[in-house]
Amino acid sequence: MKWRCGVCGYIHDGDQPPEKCPKCGAPREKFAQLTDEEARLIERSRYTNNLHAKLIALMQKVEALADEGIKDNLDPGCLIVFQAAKKQAHILAQMAKAEIQTHISKGKWG
β-sheet bridge partners, residue 31: 5
Here the contacts of 12-15 (C-beta below 8 Å, separation 24 or greater) are none
Q: What pTM value is reported for the model? A: 0.82
68 burial via Cβ count (<10 Å: 0-12, 13-18, 19+): exposed
What pLDDT sits at residue 23? Answer: 97
What pLDDT sits at residue 108? Answer: 84
Q: pLDDT tens across 81-102, in order?
A: 999 999 999 999 999 999 999 9
Considering only CA atoms, which of 50, 38, 48, 49 is closest in space to residue 11? 38
Q: pLDDT tens across 7-62, in order?
A: 999 999 999 999 999 999 999 999 999 999 999 999 999 999 999 999 999 999 99
Contact, 5 vs 30, CB < 8 A?
yes
What pLDDT sits at residue 107? Answer: 83
